[in-house]
Amino acid sequence: MAPNPWSVHPAWDEAAFVAALAVAYGLAVRRLGGSRSRYMAFGAGIVLALVAVISPVATVGTDYLLSAHLLQNVLVAEWAPALLVLGVPPELARRIAAVPGVRTLTRPLVSLPLWIGTYALWHVPALYDAALRHPPLLRLEHLAYLAAGLLLWWPVIQDEPHRMPTGARAAYLFAAFLFASPLALLLALLPDSIYGFYETSPRLWGLDPLTDQQIGGIVMAGSEAIVFFGVFAVYVLRWLAEEERAALPGR
C-alpha cells in the first residue's frame, strides 16, 4: 500500500547522515571560525538536503510521481551542494583541500565530467527503476549525487586548491548548464514515458506517466537554469568589474 503523499518519508539513515554532516561542520567552524553568512548558507544547504530525503517531496517522488523525484534529484545534486560549499569558511576549505585526492577531484576538468557522468548514469531507465525498487541502491544514488554536486561547486566557490579566474568560473558554470540541459529537455520532449516504475505507480492529481515525465523535464530544466544562470550572472558581473578596473588609467 502506497503511503500518504503528504507523509514524512522514512529515510532516517539519510537524515542521520545529513545531521552528522551538520555536526561535523559545527565542530569544525567552532574551532576554525567563520562568518554568519557562511553559517547561514551551510544551514540552508542542510535544510534543503533534509527536504529532499525525508519531506513529502521524497514521499511523492519515491512512490508516486517522476516529476517530484526529478525535483528531489536537483535538490540533492545541485541546490544543496552549492549552499554547503558556499558555507565552508576559507580556513576549513584549506584544510579540506589538503585531504589526499581532493586536489585531483576538484580540478574543473575532473569535477565537471564526474558530475555530468553521475547524472547521466543514474537516469538510465534500467538503473533509475532499479534504484526506486531497491532502497539501498536509492541511498547510493543520493550519495553519489551529493558527492558529485559538492565536487562540481567546489572550484566555482572555493579558492583552494585551485584558484580559477573569475571569467573561467563563469565559463565553467555555462558549460555545466550546457551539458546538463539536454537530459531535462529530452525528458520533456520524448513522446513516450521511459521509466517503467512510474507507469505502474499510483497516480496523483490525474497526471498520466507521460505528462508527469514532461512536467518533470520542465521542472528539472527550470531548476537548473535558476541556479546555474543565477551564479553565472554573479561571476559575469564580477568579471566585467575586474576588466573595468584593469582598464582604468594608472592600472
Per residue in 28-52, pLDDT tens? 999 999 999 999 999 999 999 999 9
Local confidence band at 250 (pLDDT 50, 70, 90 cut-offs) = low
For the chain, what are the domain ranges? 12-247
Residue type, 35: S
User: Given a cut of 60, is residue 195 above it in pLDDT?
Assistant: yes
pLDDT at 251: 55
User: Given a cut of 70, is residue 224 above it in pLDDT?
Assistant: yes
77-97 mean pLDDT: 97
Neighbours of 202 (CB within 10 A): 12
The pair phi, psi for residue 249, each rounded to 5°, is: -55, 140
The residue whose grid cell reads 515525465 is: 213
155-177 mean pLDDT: 94
DSSP conformation class of 45 = H
pLDDT at 93: 97
pLDDT at 84: 98
Are the CB atoms for 235 and 170 separated by under 8 Å?
yes
**Helix, strand, coil shares of the chain as percentages rounded to 5?**
80, 0, 20
User: Given a cut of 60, is residue 249 above it in pLDDT?
Assistant: yes
Cα(134)–Cα(249) distance, rounded to whole angstroms?
64
Per residue in 71-86, pLDDT tens? 999 999 999 999 999 9
Phi-psi region of 166 (alpha: psi -120 to 50; beta: other; left: phi over 0): alpha
Phi-psi region of 83 (alpha: psi -120 to 50; beta: other; left: phi over 0): alpha
**Residue by residue, what is the 3-state secondary structure of 185-230?**
HHHHHCCCCCCHHHHHCCCCCCCCHHHHHHHHHHHHHHHHHHHHHH
User: Given a cut of 90, is residue 247 above it in pLDDT?
Assistant: no
Mean residue pLDDT of the chain comes to 95
pLDDT at 1: 76
Q: Pull the grid cell for residue 203.
A: 497516480
Tell me the residue length of the chain.
251
C-alpha distances in Å from residue 100, one per residue of 69, 97, 143, 149, 161: 34, 8, 20, 19, 11
**Whole-structure pTM over 0.85, yes or no?**
yes
pLDDT at 194: 97
pLDDT at 32: 95
Per residue in 103-125, pLDDT tens? 999 999 999 999 999 999 999 99
